[in-house]
Structure 1
């Protein structure tokens, strides 16, 4: 979801706060997806 949409929903004044909080979740999701694809890519 675009950061500015999350910012509007959560009512954060600064998009930097949104990115700091929610970027970790995105990184975790990417790690999980890569873990699932690991054996299938080779």
Structure 2
């Protein structure tokens, strides 16, 4: 018998939302796909993902600027 982790329906929704954000989908589309009442709700719920993406972007830009020759 295959042992699988116990997943709730909302775990799958969360995985979908995070993957969509990381793939670059816009929040309006994600919000509509998930049936949320507003884009603000989607953004508030998944802000931790965008914060991590902002930090990674900042690190990427720092590496870029450090690599420039003046």
The TM-score bracket by the shorter chain reads: 0.5 to 0.7
Unaligned runs of 5+ in 1: none
Q: What root-mean-square deviation, in Å, do the aligned CA atoms of Structure 1 and Structure 2 show?
A: 1.8
Q: Which runs of 4+ in 1 moved over 3 A?
A: none
Q: If you compute each CA radius of gyration, which structure gives the higher value, 1 or 2?
A: 2
TM-score normalized with structure 1 length: 0.62
Quick check: which one's helix share is greater?
1
Unaligned runs of 5+ in 2: 1-24
TM-score normalized with structure 2 length: 0.46
Paired residue total: 42
